Structure 1
């Protein structure tokens, strides 16, 4: 059902059972999967105690991003919005969507996901809500951080790119290699942060049920279920064609809120927020930028 987006009637015909039996068994299994979410969609034991092998083995990232523990971003899923609040669900391209915020590690595994905010909400507002109100939100330990794109503020525990400099990988593909140390930092930051885009890529390619424009309440359930199954497959270490493809694919969709368009227009402005600590993270970004620049000769 989740992979092919087939109806209960199609399943009943395929497996030669009554509609009532299929519905009852589906409810049983889906209920168990929803309970499993609390145990499987979270950081594993010792997740943040040591750096990811992906970082250690790649000279583009190590030791520059040695304290990075994952990437955070949001994506939009099409929905059929409630008639009394349809405007709040109008996201990018004026289509009704629901906003999904997710955190992943460098093994294409979800550490956290949250669904339920209408697509018209800004990414920073969704993050602030999750970090403040969601008890399962995996706050980065002291000294560690997640990578975020320019749609989020750089603050304690969240390292964003340099503003007013090229960032997304397709901008470098069209406009040539970095021409400054800030662009060089941004390119490596974007390349490493692309793991969250690859995670979303697997997610949307594998589960066709996400293409269905359901009511927002039903969609919340399905998104939780496919996230659980995603992590279950990853934790099982089975070979999977979708994971294998998205681990190495060069092209991916930018899921941020019009970040590329804003970059090209030079219209990225600092986003106000309540928590403090941005100066320390901006100083860290400058230190990493300097270290990367010392080891490279531009253009890169």
Structure 2
């Protein structure tokens, strides 16, 4: 799956803004353990923190549940910190070779903001990678930001759920070698995109799929990156937070909530 560039990124961002209400978003990222049988003579390399053997699937999807990038094959034990940093996607992001468009102001504003990917709390916060605010005692603006982010991020969870429902191989551990398992996962992701490209259904409520965590062959990953964030990353998240609570960026449900 070649990385998108230029106008393709802008089209992806327009979809996230229209469908999820999150402007300047160019992808939702998450990872899953793909459970496999214990490989011969592999020691603990494939043994993960959940007590099973696995390879890791790191994926980025668009707002229409299509895989934009998959990185498959990391050892199950490497999910704690190494999966993201060692991926081709992370290297391209660090080296500025993804071809992301230049910074663009959020709708109705005049301050340029970077294009970003949305992730959950297992991933690091970066200037172009937004994760939710941690903790329970959050300010109202922070809770609003977390809601907007989760609305966009759930697209990758929906994609995993569709994948687990369509392909029976994910309903139990893969009884093949890690090399073959990697090919199987890549093939199902490509076929998933083909099906999505020929389907008119885009509303997840109309689709039949199981939550990925309920599929025995697919498990959540642990921490995949450091929690240390730069001042730039914190500032970008704060600007998104202020935007979503401003009259320009406020969603309709926020207006109803305030009136009640």
TM-score (norm: length of structure 1)? 0.64
The counterpart of 1:238, out of the listed 199, 206, 230, is 199
Deviations 1:152-181 (A, max 9, x none): 111132111112248xxxxxxxxxxx8722
Alignment of 1:1-300 (within 5 A): 38=1, 42-43=3-4, 46-50=7-11, 51-56=13-18, 61=21, 65-122=22-79, 124-130=81-87, 131-132=90-91, 138=98, 140-142=100-102, 143-165=114-136, 180-210=140-170, 211=172, 212-235=174-197, 237-239=198-200, 245=204, 252-253=211-212, 256-258=220-222, 271-272=227-228, 278-294=230-246, 295=250, 296=254
| Cα distance, 1:73 vs structure 2 | 0.9
| Number of residue pairs the alignment of both structures matches | 228
Whichever of the two has the greater Rg, that structure is: 1
| Cα distance, 1:79 vs structure 2 | 0.6
Contact preservation (8 Å) 2:27, 2:60:
yes
Q: Distance in 2 between matches of 1:247 and 1:138?
A: 33
| Cα distance, 1:192 vs structure 2 | 1.4
Greater Cα offset, 49-58 or 120-129: 49-58
- The alpha-carbon distance between structure 1 residues 287 and 244, as it changes in their structure 2 partners (threshold 3 A), is closer
| Alignment RMSD (CA, Å) | 3.4
TM-score (norm: length of structure 2)? 0.73
Q: Larger % of strand: which? A: 2
Structure 2: 5+ residue stretches without partners: 103-113, 214-218
